[in-house]
């Protein structure tokens, strides 16, 4: 299968003050991401609060993104759910509307603790969209699925139970395991790096081509710049940009992370994504003022997406 080159954004789900979805802002959102160098979106995932959306909302949001993106801009639809039948239905819908690919993280309940359980879960989802590439979204911090990704990859490959399996969105700290999976059978599968904090490290390991990012919503110019500097053999510039990306991440970590703090940053850029749904605790006006000051202290508004 084709491997993704460049960075895919994990967008927030824009909401109105009453927590309904603000579909109307998506075209402007897609334009912002495209002009700042992103190559696509991975919608309805963790940054998009996908598990807090209804099936109908997730489908309508997918349709809205498909109608909003420019030509060649990839739309990957996260279809993971605690109900595998819902996931299969969402996969069918993604294929019907012409999405580029689908993905699913492990269900947070019940916790998946064995490779066979994970393969069965992915198998029942992926078959809903047999014509689309399927990516497993590895993010143990959200679902505590800590099975070996290398053993999972090997079993998927040898069993041939998921014919459209494309690779893994790897959002975990083990660069050793990431690279081991990337090297499997001469780089057979697409390993999309999923930690904005260590993009440069994934490139230096010798082969990362693409990634899926959360802070690229507002700091995409910086993250794309890391890939461009590396490609141009400018290691010093790549280091400076990676360190700056970490400065930005340090700020959002003071305000409940990317899903809450990052979503509020979009308002400061003139694209208000609205509140987060329960059980997320939304930022107060006072916190927004403090966050803006912390961002100004690192000259964020000179470097952010525009």
Rounded CA-CA distance 99/114 in Å is: 30
Please list, in sequence order, all residues whose beta carbon lies within 8 angstroms of the beta carbon of residue 294, skipping any fewer than 6 positions away.
251, 254
Q: Is 169 a catalytic residue?
A: yes
Classify the C-alpha dihedral 170-263-16-41 as positive or negative. Answer: negative
Three-class secondary structure of residue 7 per DSSP: strand
Which tokens is 300 given? Answer: 């964020």
Of the candidates 29, 100, 137, 218, the residue annotated as catalytic is: 137
SS3 137: strand
293 C-beta neighbours (distance < 10 Å), count: 10
φ, ψ dihedrals at 256, nearest 5°:
65, 25
Q: Kindly name the residue from 169, 178, 218, 263 that is annotated as catalytic.
A: 169
184 counts as catalytic:
no
Contact of 249 with 196, CB cutoff 8 Å: yes
Secondary structure letter of residue 304 according to DSSP: S
CB-based contact 16:274 (threshold 8 Å):
yes
By three-state DSSP, how is residue 212 classified?
A: strand
**CA–CA distances in Å: residue 293 to residues 197, 248, 253, 272:** 22, 12, 14, 18
First to last CA, the chain: 33
Distance CA 58, CA 179 (A): 33
User: No. of H helices and E strands in the chain?
Assistant: 14, 8
Residues annotated as catalytic are 137, 169
């Amino acid at each position: 299968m084709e491997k993704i080159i460049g960075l895919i954004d994990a967008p927030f789900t824009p909401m109105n003050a009453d927590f309904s979805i603000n579909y109307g802002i998506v075209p402007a959102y897609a334009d912002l991401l495209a002009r700042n160098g992103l190559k696509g979106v991975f919608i309805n995932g963790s940054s998009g609060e996908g598990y807090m959306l209804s099936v109908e909302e997730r489908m309508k949001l997918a349709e809205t993104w498909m109608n909003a993106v420019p030509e060649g801009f990839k739309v990957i639809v996260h279809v993971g759910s605690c109900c595998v039948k819902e996931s299969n239905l969402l996969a069918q819908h993604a294929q019907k509307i012409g999405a580029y690919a689908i993905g699913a993280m492990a269900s947070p309940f019940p916790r998946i603790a064995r490779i066979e359980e994970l393969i069965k879960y992915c198998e029942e989802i992926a078959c809903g969209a047999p014509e689309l590439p399927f990516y497993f979204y590895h993010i143990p911090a959200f679902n505590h699925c800590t099975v070996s990704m290398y053993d999972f990859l090997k079993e998927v490959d040898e069993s041939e139970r998921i014919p459209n399996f494309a690779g893994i969105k790897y959002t975990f700290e083990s660069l050793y395991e990431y690279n081991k999976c990337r090297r499997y059978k001469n780089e057979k599968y697409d390993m999309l790096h999923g930690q904005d904090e260590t993009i440069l490290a994934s490139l230096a390991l010798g082969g990362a081509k693409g990634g899926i990012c959360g802070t690229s919503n507002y700091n995409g110019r910086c993250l794309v710049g890391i890939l461009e500097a590396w490609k141009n053999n400018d290691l010093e510039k790549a280091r400076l940009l990676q360190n700056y990306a970490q400065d930005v991440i340090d700020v959002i970590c003071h305000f409940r992370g990317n899903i809450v703090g990052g979503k509020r940053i979009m308002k400061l850029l003139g694209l208000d994504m609205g509140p987060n749904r329960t059980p997320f605790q939304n930022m107060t006006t006072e916190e927004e003022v403090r966050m803006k000051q912390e961002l100004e202290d690192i000259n964020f508004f000179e470097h952010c997406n525009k």
